[in-house]
Amino acid sequence: MPRASLAGVTQIEFGALLDAIPEAVIVADHTSEIVYANTAVEGLLGWSPSELVGSSLHSIQPDRMHDAHDRGFRRYVSTGTKTLFDGPIHLPARRRDGTERDVELSLAEVADADGTPLVVGVLRGATEQVDLERHIAILRYLKATTAAHTRLWTKVDPSVVLQTLTDVLVDDFDAALARTWIHDPETNTLRLQTSGGITTRIKGSTREVIDIATSPAKVAVVAREREPFIRVGLGGNPAFDQEFVARERIVSVIALPLVAGDQLLGAMVGFFRHAIPDEVAETIGHLAALAAATINDARLVAQEREAREEADRARGHFELLARVSERLVSSLSAEVSAQSLVDTVVPDFADWCIVDLVTDGPSLRAIASRHADPRVADHIAELRATYPPAEDEEPPHPIHRAISEGETVWESVEDGDLAARARDPRHLELLRAVGIGSHVVVPLVGRGAVMGAISFVRSASRPPFETDDVATAEDITRRAALAIDNAQLYRSAEQAVALRDRFLAVASHELRTPLSVVRGHWELLGRRLAAEGSDPDTQRQQLEASVRRLGQGIDQLQRLVEDLLDADRLRGQAVDLKPTELDMTMVVRETIEDLHDPAMRDRVRTILPDEPVDGVWDRARLAQVIGNLIGNALKYSPDDGNVEVEVTTREDVVRIRVTDSGIGIAAEQLDAIFEPFTRAPNAAAQHYPGLGLGLAVSREIVMTMGGRMWAESPGEGRGSTFTIELPRRPAAAAEAERAAP
């Protein structure tokens, strides 16, 4: 039997000695070429010595081990490091028929006669021992798998399930690195959820998000094809980071899709520093299947929980609407209905709720408000009194946005938003004290017109409003709008009846006075004309006085009749305005000059622009309104009290303000005084004459000209200010001017 030549006289004796021992002996040089094999090799691996001598050590190695062997052998030759020389190692060897056999290998280094180093390997069969060790390992893995089953089945959170799977692979299956991904069906990507072993890094990892459709990564291929991937020996595989494989001495990998039915739920990867026996790979596959089933169950449980929560929310929604509807119909008062509403929604639905109605002036009128914390009531009162929502705020106030746009405003509010809205430090302090984390402002719409808005507010400590909450707020507001509109219609009907009665009472009283004057002086005039012997001069003076009083009575009757006619015409939109180009300051001056009493003219102070204030208005009607306001201001002021008339402009709007120092108006009467035949109680109590038509007629004229009019007063006895705002050009005229070019 041919053998490699061993230099020296002891060659044959040494070869005979090696043939005599039962263990297989193979000697290789530093090129990994076999230079000697004893006869026992054939019994162990089926190779004859002559077949092995001159061949590479790859001949007796499984293909998957070639790369690892080459790297280790090169390291040994170049550095002299004897990594595997310290004791026997177990590994698979390739038999001549291609099958594998587990062997125990012991290595030693010798030198031939020339001093050339050789590597001697002694191999003995280790199948029984390896099988025993394998069985022990498998039993350990099975025990770990059984424990993992219990741990996984008790989890109802996908992220917890995946973390448990990662921990089991690292702690119980000795994975050097284990990772799991969850599948996002909307983007068809894998998102890294857990990482254990060598690294726990997730955020910023190169594998944090993997596109299943395009990524060449092995985990993407596994997810795409839904087929497992198991490989022992990763050297040279471009799908894996070779620097990582070499540095961490990674021997094997298993990548599995996490699938339940036909649904891809995620993927997992485990890297190991040892080979993965088939039984272990199968066990890990069972774990992956269990994890997928548990994730699927967890998702089903989450969906069921979400469905229950949705049902609970829907039930709460309808129960709240039922309570609101019940409370709204309990009264025909808008204020009472609104207060019932806010009492119902606070604190279950919102921490703060306020109902605002639109007025003819620049401010809103809050008719109901409630906060969950009664201690905040004083802050709210100060907030609304000192810093009421203004139309010209920047950024625009949510309430005015909802009213002007007719759309719901839904926002989360940060402290920076409050700081941007605050007008001064105290304003910011109050906004923070009230507590605004999120709000929903819904316009109150009745018969096609916006009447106001309802604001629902939650504090920052409470979850913000969501889409379902917005729908609930809008449903509540629709019901409230109907109730408030009905209440206002009912109040209008009541007021119409009261107006009729008041008209009859006031008209009979006011008409009686001038009629009594006319009749008395008519009778007196008749008696004086019938008298004989009277002094002609005296008789003439008496006749002149009677005629003058008759004229005053007739003028008063004429004014009353004209006011009545104007009220009727304006209510029916029957007034035909005759707009012309005017100077507002000139109309104001002429109106003051038309005052008959010089003493009254002297009490009027004017603040007028130096330049003309031109616009298109009806001169007669404008003079009627301004004269009415100045006349009222003089009438209700003390005899020595002054009246101030101010004209200002802002863009295309002209504002006229008439301020007096008279009897003032209570806050709750500021809107009522513009109703026909309605007068402030203090005016009636002090017996000031009038039908209560002048302001109603004046406001109707202003509205017909496209403007608005309102009253302000610090309170009774503290004077009043009446404001008119008019556009310089009617809408139709302005549109025609814009279209002319």
Confidence at residue 300, expressed as pLDDT on a 0 to 100 scale: 78
pLDDT, tens digit (0-9, with 9 covering 90-100), for 126-142: 665 555 555 555 555 55
Instruction: For residues 269 and 161, state if they share a domain.
Output: yes
Say if residue 347 is preceded by a cis peptide, omega within 30 of 0: yes
The domain of 587 spans 575-738
Of 702, 450, 727, 435, residue with least CA distance to 566: 702
**Residue 327 falls within a domain, yes or no?**
no
**Residue 79 falls within a domain, yes or no?**
yes
Instruction: For residues 16 and 89, state if they share a domain.
Output: yes
**Residue 313 falls within a domain, yes or no?**
no
Strand partners, 371: 352
Q: What is the DSSP track for 190-208?
A: EEEEEEEES----TT-TTS
Longest dimension (CA), the chain: 190
Give the predicted TM-score (pTM) of the model: 0.42
Angle between helices 127-153 and 158-171 (to 10 degrees): 160
Confidence at residue 573, expressed as pLDDT on a 0 to 100 scale: 52
Q: What angle do CA 515, 516, 521 make, to 5 degrees?
A: 100
Residue that terminates a domain, selected from 81, 107, 125:
125
SS3 (DSSP) at 257: strand
**Residue 3 falls within a domain, yes or no?**
no
Instruction: For residues 454 and 553, state if they share a domain.
Output: yes
pLDDT, tens digit (0-9, with 9 covering 90-100), for 724-736: 999 998 754 445 4
- Mean pLDDT within 236-260: 87
Q: Which position has the higher pLDDT, 649 or 236?
A: 649
Residues 181 and 192: beta-carbon distance below 8 Å: yes
**Residue 321 falls within a domain, yes or no?**
no
Instruction: For residues 530 and 413, state if they share a domain.
Output: yes
**Residue 186 falls within a domain, yes or no?**
yes
Residues 657 and 722: beta-carbon distance below 8 Å: yes
Instruction: For residues 419 and 443, state if they share a domain.
Output: yes
Ramachandran quadrant class, 53 (left: phi over 0; alpha: psi -120 to 50; beta: rest) = beta
Task: Quote the tokens at residue 430.
Answer: 């109050």
CATH of residue 17's domain is 3.30.450.20
384 CB-near residues (< 8 Å, 6+ apart): 366, 369
**Confidence tier at 173 by pLDDT (50, 70, 90):** confident
Confidence at residue 741, expressed as pLDDT on a 0 to 100 scale: 42
CATH of residue 681's domain is 3.30.565.10
Instruction: For residues 165 and 248, state if they share a domain.
Output: yes
pLDDT, tens digit (0-9, with 9 covering 90-100), for 44-54: 899 999 999 99
H/E stretch holding 358 reads: strand 352-358
Of 268, 444, 224, residue with least CA distance to 356: 444
Instruction: For residues 507 and 603, state if they share a domain.
Output: no
Of 104, 100, 2, residue with least CA distance to 60: 100
Instruction: For residues 692 and 604, state if they share a domain.
Output: yes
Q: How many CB atoms lie within 10 A of CB 303?
A: 10
pLDDT, tens digit (0-9, with 9 covering 90-100), for 590-601: 999 888 778 888
> Whats the size of the chain, residue-wise?
741
Instruction: For residues 56 and 102, state if they share a domain.
Output: yes
**Residue 143 falls within a domain, yes or no?**
yes
CATH of residue 242's domain is 3.30.450.40
Instruction: For residues 368 and 497, state if they share a domain.
Output: yes
**Residue 581 falls within a domain, yes or no?**
yes
Residue ranges with strand state E in 672-718:
708-712
Task: Quote the tokens at residue 166.
Answer: 């990662």
Residue that terminates a domain, selected from 125, 160, 193:
125
Instruction: For residues 272 and 344, state if they share a domain.
Output: no
Task: Quote the tokens at residue 68.
Answer: 């690892």
Strand 721-727 relative to strand 653-659, pairing = antiparallel
Residues 175 and 271: beta-carbon distance below 8 Å: yes
pLDDT, tens digit (0-9, with 9 covering 90-100), for 317-331: 777 777 777 777 777
HSE toward the beta carbon, residue 558, CA cutoff 13 A:
6
At 420, the amino acid letter reads A
SS3 (DSSP) at 240: coil
Q: Which segments of 435-535 does DSSP mark as H helices, in order?
A: 467-530
Of 419, 448, 451, 449, residue with least CA distance to 432: 419
Q: How far apart are CA 424 and CA 422, in angstroms?
A: 6
Q: How far apart are CA 566 and CA 240, in angstroms?
A: 93
Q: How far apart are CA 43 and CA 24, in angstroms?
A: 8
Q: What average pLDDT is seen over the chain?
A: 81
Is residue 335 over pLDDT 90?
A: no
pLDDT above 90 covers a percentage of the chain that reads: 29
- Mean pLDDT within 55-66: 90
Instruction: For residues 703 and 611, state if they share a domain.
Output: yes
Q: Which position has the higher pLDDT, 194 or 598?
A: 194
Please state the domain count of the chain.
4
Of 717, 722, 561, residue with least CA distance to 632: 722
SS3 (DSSP) at 399: helix
223 CB-near residues (< 8 Å, 6+ apart): 181, 183, 190, 210, 212, 257, 264, 266, 267
Residue that terminates a domain, selected from 72, 99, 125:
125
